[in-house]
Amino acid sequence: MSSVAPPGVRFHHGSAVVPAGAVHTTPLGYDRGSVPLGAPLPLTASAELVHRLSGCGEVVVAFEGKLGDTLLALTGVRAVLDWLRLRSVRTSVRAVGPYAGLIARTGLITQPPVTTPHGRRAVIGDRAGIDAHGSEAVVSLVLDPAAPPCWSSDGRAHPDLPARHYLALERRLGIRLPGTAPFAPTLATGPNNLVEELRSVGWLGGLTIAAITATSWPERKDYTAQRYIALVEQIAEAQQAQARLLLIGGAPEGGFRVSAEAPRRHVQVLHLDGVPAEQLADLFPHCDLIVGNDTGLTHLAAMTRTAEGPVIGLYARHSHSKWRTGLPHHHAIATDLSDRMHQGDLCPVRDAIPPDVDVHMDAFPPAELARVCLDLLNGVRP
């Protein structure tokens, strides 16, 4: 299931199944595998929620908050839409807000039905999205990352947020829905001008690694450009190849900026700062490996990749299992503190748990991290 990386740090493979008895869970209340698709659950559904959703002609998906929370919550939207289809309730679905374009890539958005929907509307999103767009809704569903517990069923824990959101809605709606692990949607990708420009000047040829430095909490979660460069230098030397490192940073003053460093012995470094998430969604599939902190762009990278393209998240403080997509190619390297947050389904912020020591991203030495990356690049399970 996992293997030791540096002392006090552990690697967790994205395809590992977590046994229910290994972590703190909340029983789902039924053996999901034994309930036929579309059959009523042996739980009482939320009658008011079912009544209001059944009468809706339109579903509005409205997220205004953090990118990572939004991406990991989209399975809550999927659960509602799966339920509506099973109940033969015809609705139109549209997304609003800053992530509407990304949400459309999941295939959740549908064209309006042949008949014009009546005015009853359901809004699904985060608290900010509900506040902005839910004033005329007959029902609003807030998908709060702190709300759903780590469920367990059939001897298996479902710790990742996409599974938590989907199963929480399944229980409330009272019908066995079609979704199965991994629950997270993938995003459609395609060509764009940035990708074509980078390809034309040779940045997407050979060994290409993307590293994410952008974060809303840099003092805690920024692995730093210097560490990433040291990491990729060691990977390139071991591979006896020239590597190209794309450093994905946050928005600088003045917006989008691209700058190249002077070539090094084994690595060429390109800084991509302030690139819109939709353009990065098209860029990530062209990378051989992506390494990032626990942040929305790392989740985005996993949701635009395939099993052949590993994504590694670095988790110093928060649960490595909860804050992942659950996709089999989305791996984690985590500290002991992160492992304890995972085991107890705890959050150092929500539950006000101070660490024994001040844990930062320097817990992951580049040399040791390079060994894990090399195994994944070479098709070896660490």
Which sign, positive or negative, has the C-alpha torsion 164, 170, 176, 180?
Answer: negative
User: Can you point out the beta strands (E) in the chain?
Assistant: 2-4, 9-12, 26-27, 58-62, 92-96, 121-125, 139-142, 151-153, 156-158, 207-212, 243-249, 257-260, 267-273, 289-293, 311-315, 330-335
How far, CA to CA in Å, does 331 sit from each of 69, 136, 204?
Answer: 18, 41, 23
Nearest in space to 307 (alpha carbons), one of 327, 287, 283, 281: 327
- What was the pLDDT predicted at 251? 81
The H helix count followed by the E strand count for the chain is 12, 16
Please name the residues in contact with 88: beta carbons below 8 A apart, sequence gap of 6 or more. Answer: none
3-class DSSP string for 60-109? EEECCCCHHHHHHHHHHHHHHHHHHHHCCCCCEEEEECCCHHHHHCCCCC
- Which pLDDT belongs to residue 118? 56
| Coil, strand or helix at 194 | helix
pLDDT of residue 116: 47
3-state secondary structure of 270: strand
Q: Where in the chain do CATH 3.40.50.2000 domains reside?
A: 2-15+190-377
Give residue for tokens 């999901």: 32
Task: Indicate the CATH number for domain 2-15+190-377.
Answer: 3.40.50.2000
In whole angstroms, what separates CA 356 from the centre of its chain? 28
Q: Which of 350, 369, 78 is nearest to 232 (CA)?
A: 369
Non-local (6+) Cβ contacts of 57 within 8 A are: 90, 91, 92, 117, 118, 119, 120, 121
Tell me if 172 sits within 8 A of 53, measured CB to CB. no
Specify the pLDDT at position 305: 82
Ranges under pLDDT 50 in the chain? 1-6, 113-116
pLDDT given for residue 111 in this prediction: 62
pTM of the full predicted structure? 0.94
